Amino acid sequence: MLDRITSLQVFARVAGSGSLSAAGRELGLSQTMVTKHIAALETRLGIKLFHRTTRRLSITEAGRNYLESVERILAELEAADAGIAADRFEPRGLLRLNAPVSFGSRQIAPLLAEFAKRYPHVQVELGLNDRLVDLAEEGWDVAVRIGSLEDSSLIARRLAPCRTILAAAPSYLQANGTPRTVADLNAHNCLGYTLSQVTGADRWKFGSRGEVAVKVSGPLRANNGDALRAAAIAGEGIIYQPTFIVADDLRAGTLVRLVLDHPTIEFAGIYAVYLSDRNPPAKLRAFIDFLVERFSPLPPWDETQR
């Protein structure tokens, strides 16, 4: 079966040149193949596009009417192709970005104004949630993920390390004392993050490989780090959270870092992930490069830890 788009291109060239052989030379096709494309179009349409004699070729009235539509269609196809090609080289269009709630609101959203100034032809749609989204199914261009990556079909680029910290408000420590060891946490209010196996609701892990575990309990557990942070600032207990959530509070003194006899866990990292594509669009490359630039060599939220 002949390609329909090629047939339209052949028809337009024949109509423009008035010659089957000339159209063939322009398109790199034999005169026989040009004739087959024209015949296939006429059969599909049920009309005669050209009058043919042994000496000349002329377009029919139906052919002239059809040519107007064909030229418009081919021009739109060329414009579409040019637009797609431009997307590969010039950052533009809508970029759909998904990120965890706390990281997205605290570390991504404040950077978007600067990104917009640098790339004024890119519009960003930011989606915030803590579930694992399906990029292909839900139409996301890129997602930020924290910790170990399980989906090997995605391309990942590391943006920053993900360090964790124990912290509590000065008012809590004044009222309840300061823990010095992991074992001391048994006697304290520990506010657990229900979506984590490391800093979870009833067990916290410490050590370079998570080899030290302690059972914890407290008056609050939540599936959002900022909710736990707010409770900790209010003096409700101790939190075990990534530094990107508590960095501002450590600077302000509303939370105090706690150092015990075993180090806190460092997650595998913070990554930008996207679907496999040999030639990702320029808007995607530009955005990931922008984040790497802003988060390297030391992410701003970890400057407090120097």
Please, what are the domains in the chain?
4-87 (1.10.10.10), 93-160+268-305 (3.40.190.10), 162-267 (3.40.190.10)
Average pLDDT value for residue range 210-229? 94
Q: Are the C-beta atoms of 187 and 175 separated by less than 8 Å?
A: no
Average the pLDDT over 54-77 and give the result: 86
The whole-chain average pLDDT of the chain stands at: 90
pLDDT mean over 85-99: 82
pTM metric for this prediction: 0.71
Torsions phi, psi for 57 (to 5 deg)? -130, 130
DSSP codes joined into one string, the chain: ---HHHHHHHHHHHHHHS-HHHHHHHHT--HHHHHHHHHHHHHHHTS--EEE-SS-EEE-HHHHHHHHHHHHHHHHHHHHHHHHHHHHHS--EEEEEEE-HHHIIIIIGGGHHHHHHH-TTEEEEEEE-SS---HHHHT-SEEEEES----TTEEEEEEEEEEEEEEE-HHHHHHH----SSGGGGGSBEEEETT-SSB-SSEEEESTTS-EEEE-B-S-EES-HHHHHHHHHTTS-EEEEEHHHHHHHHHHTSSEEE--SSPBPEEEEEEEEEE--SS--HHHHHHHHHHHHHH-SS-GGGGGG-
The torsion region of residue 46 among left (phi > 0), alpha (psi -120 to 50) and beta comes to left
Say which residues have a Cβ less than 8 Å from residue 217's Cβ, sequence separation at least 6: 189, 190, 202
pLDDT of residue 209: 87
Q: Residue 164 above 90 pLDDT?
A: yes
Q: Is the pLDDT of residue 213 over 80?
A: yes
Question: What's residue 96's pLDDT?
Answer: 96
57 pLDDT above the threshold of 90: no
Backbone angles phi, psi at 44, to 5 degrees: -65, -40
Q: How far is CA 256 from the centre of its chain?
A: 34
Mean pLDDT of the 278-283 span: 82
**Other residues' Cβ atoms within 10 Å of the Cβ of residue 131:** 9
> With pLDDT > 70 as the criterion, what percentage of the chain qualifies?
95
Q: Report in angstroms the alpha-carbon separations of 203 from 20, 130, 191, 216, 221.
A: 79, 20, 11, 5, 12
- pLDDT (mean) for 79-88: 64
Q: Vertex 122, ends 116 and 128: CA angle to 5°?
A: 80
Q: What is the mean pLDDT of residues 189-197?
A: 92
Length of the chain: 306
Whether the CB-CB separation of 239 and 189 falls below 8 Å is answered with no
Task: Name the band, by pLDDT with cuts 50, 70 and 90, for residue 90.
Answer: confident
Q: pLDDT band for position 82 (50/70/90)?
A: low
Give pLDDT, residue 268: 86
Q: Which of 99-108, 179-188, 196-205, 220-229 bottoms out in mean pLDDT, i.e. has the lowest?
A: 196-205
Residue 197 has pLDDT above 90, yes or no: no
Backbone angles phi, psi at 304, to 5 degrees: -60, -30
pLDDT of amino acid 17: 86
Give the integer Cα–Cα distance in Å for 281 and 89.
Answer: 7
Q: Considering the chain, what percentage of its residues have pLDDT values greater than 90? A: 59
The predicted pLDDT at position 239 comes to 97
